Amino acid sequence: MQQAIYRILDANLDRAREGIRIVEEWCRLGLNHQPLAQECKHIRQELASWHSKELRQARNTLEDVGTELSHEREETRNSIESLLQANLCRVQEALRVLEEYSKFDRPQMAIACKQMRYRVYTIESNLLNSDRHQQLQNSRLYLVTSPSEQILQIVDDALKGGLTLVQYRDKEVDDMLRIQIAERLCQLCHQYNALFLVNDRVDLALAVDADGVHLGQQDVPIAFAREMLGWQKIIGRSTTNQQEMEAAIAEGADYIGVGPVYQTPTKPNKAAAGLDYINYAATKCPIPWFAIGGVDLNNVSEVIAAGGQRVAVVRAIMQAEQPGLVARQFLSLLHR
């Protein structure tokens, strides 16, 4: 009986590790979603730690009657969603088998597999129930608002021009008015199927059900924001140098701002990072990033030539006479 149990444990450790690796590859290379990819990797490595030599030695592939078994539904995949769902189910089933059969003489392994199964449920919920990160990946132009009496009209016009990502930033008004404006902007963005983020304030993002939050270097840790907002929401971080970039990636940011590229009145105390930092991000940054700081239609071609594929702007749209036209011009250049 012990040999049979060892074979079951061996087979399901292989099955769980294979399945989670397939999910991990999509999170990493399909979505560029570092936190989910990291969580998959942690689970895979934890499974490997339980895959002992005695379990591997129990393997008997030649006498395994299940190697030839298949089903027509396993032969094809008609979407990424179906592929992910199939492999997440595979991992969950394997973990349940591991949990039950390891109870005979490996109680700690049983506990660990139960905990991992719930972690995989969380990955499934966040991966399959939200397309925000794919929208983020596809976004090229990012509007960061500045205080304006015409803010709703400006954003509406820019959204009509093809804008797909908006951050509400206003440090001058009180919280009651800030919530009112954020709610209306959030509704407006969602009418156009655009993402809506809030600057700095995790509580405000929660209050209006924003798609996420953008954090500066002096704001709350990304881990805290993630705990409050969950994996489905987007968390960005401003960076001004290579060290801040690496820290933001390690902390699990979904995207980063790279800049300021040029001197800007929005950040009067920040020296321009210049095009060298853009070039560095283009070769080293594994997650979506946006060149920001003084970028406008006159210099965006320099940013693109340095490797920038996404830009974030403030004055170029907020102070434009025709925000929609400017948005279209930016997008035309960025998609070229």
Residue 197: name the closest of 143, 126, 258, 148 by CA: 143
Q: Is 238 a catalytic residue?
A: yes
The single residue of 15, 17, 106, 267 carrying the catalytic annotation is 267
Residue 246: name the closest of 277, 204, 209 by CA: 277
Q: How many CB atoms are located within 10 Å of the residue 26 CB?
A: 18
> What integer pLDDT is reported at residue 262 of this predicted model?
94
Residue 317: name the closest of 188, 102, 150 by CA: 150
CATH domain 132-334 topology: TIM Barrel (3.20.20)
220 is written with which tokens?
């709350």
Which residues sit opposite 256 in a β-bridge? 237, 289
Q: Give pLDDT tens digits for 246-283.
A: 999 989 899 999 999 998 877 667 778 899 999 999 99
Q: Is 103 a catalytic residue?
A: no
What is the SS3 assignment for 313?
Answer: strand
Q: Is 169 a catalytic residue?
A: yes
> What integer pLDDT is reported at residue 271 of this predicted model?
78
pLDDT of residue 288 exceeding 90, the answer is yes
Give the pTM. Answer: 0.72
The single residue of 140, 201, 238, 310 carrying the catalytic annotation is 238
Q: Give pLDDT tens digits for 97-125.
A: 999 999 999 999 999 999 999 999 988 87
> What integer pLDDT is reported at residue 71 of this predicted model?
54
The single residue of 7, 15, 17, 169 carrying the catalytic annotation is 169
Amino acid type, 204:
L
